[in-house]
Amino acid sequence: MLFLNEKDILENAASHSLRKLRRDAMTILSTAVEAVDPGEAIRRYLVIDEGVLRVDSVTLDLDRYSNVYVIGGGKAGGSMAEAIEELLGDRVTRGILNVLRGTESDYNLQKIRLNGASQPQRRKASEGWRRCSL
């Protein structure tokens, strides 16, 4: 549920018509937010079927690889990393991603490490991930 106070928003509407409009607006907003959720995007576009990873038109037989490393960065990296770990499970060897500083502990990850960084200015913390060994 996107709206923690959904019940209040609907109940305090001045009329039945307004309540319906609010419900419709909340449905539209919820659908829009779900459509752009980074973790859900990974789950939609990364498909694993019988050990074969499919991303759009690219296919990889994961059984041919002894190690899978995950690298990346960006504000959406944490939720995308969660989805990657969920989909690939034990196939992930290790990983590192730069995410927005202060959000590193917001995610439940086992093998992928998150490095807090900032933007747009180049800062020491942002450069730190380059020194990290996988």
pLDDT > 80? residue 105: yes
Residues 51 and 102 in one domain: yes
Contact 119, 126 (CB under 8 A): yes
Whether the model clears a pTM of 0.75, i.e. scores above it, the answer is no
Range of the domain at 20: 6-35
The proportion of the chain whose per-residue pLDDT surpasses 90, expressed as a percent, equals 63
Domain annotation covers residue 1: no
45 lies in some domain: yes
Does residue 117 lie within any of the structural domains? yes
Contact 90, 112 (CB under 8 A): no
Asked whether residue 24 falls in the same domain as residue 60, the answer is: no
Same domain, 125 and 63: yes
In-domain check, residue 71: yes
Do residue 47 and residue 105 come from a single domain? yes
**pLDDT per position as a tens digit, 21-65:** 999 998 999 888 888 889 999 998 999 999 999 998 999 999 999
Task: Give pLDDT tens digits for 107-117.
Answer: 999 999 999 98
Number of domains in the chain: 2
